[in-house]
Amino acid sequence: VSPISPGALFVAKALMNFTLMALSQVVLVPAFYILFGQGLAANVPGLVPSLLLVNHGFSTLGTLLSALAAGTRRNEVLLPILLFPLTLPLVVLAVKATGEALNGRPIAEFLTHLEAMAAFGLIYSAAGFLLFSHAVQEG
């Protein structure tokens, strides 16, 4: 029903999901540091790319799968069943990269994890942009 292309609609939805996740992290990450008493300044350069890349991967894949699940009767059950196994590689990479960043390691030591997270996000961005019209198609 929308006058814009399905690809543009996918980008807008994914960008909104990304923005909401990033805004929640702006509040939650400093609260984490306050509650656990760690120094925030030393870990920020390594932590920010990891958070941004995991947000990108989750938002693009989540947007595509939510469009697929929206056309079903049991969409509230189907989305987590589809999303969890597909995001598992991203979660594993994010845990490794975040752990390295919190330990104060330089970015060069966990750059392979960041590159893999970027590839994950780019693959699902391209897939979502190309397949979103089929995902939201009625009947």
CB 14 within 8 A of CB 60: yes
Q: Which single residue is written with the structure tokens 């760690």?
A: 38
CB 39 within 8 A of CB 47: no
CB 54 within 8 A of CB 25: no
The CA-atom distances, in angstroms, between 62 and each of 92, 96, 116, 127 are 17, 21, 18, 12
Q: Which single residue is written with the structure tokens 């006058």?
A: 3
Question: Is pTM, for the whole model, over 0.85?
Answer: yes
CA angle 19, 111, 31 (to 5 degrees): 45
pLDDT at residue 139 greater than cutoff 60: no
Q: List, for residues 33-62, the tens digit of each pLDDT value.
A: 888 776 666 677 888 999 999 999 999 999
How many angstroms separate the CA atoms of 38 and 54, rounded?
A: 22
How many angstroms separate the CA atoms of 89 and 117, rounded?
A: 9
Segment (H or E) for 71: none
- The more confident residue out of 19 and 30 is 19
Q: List, for residues 57-112, the tens digit of each pLDDT value.
A: 999 999 999 988 887 788 788 888 999 999 999 999 999 998 888 888 889 999 99
The amino acid at residue 48 is: V
The pLDDT of residue 40 is 62
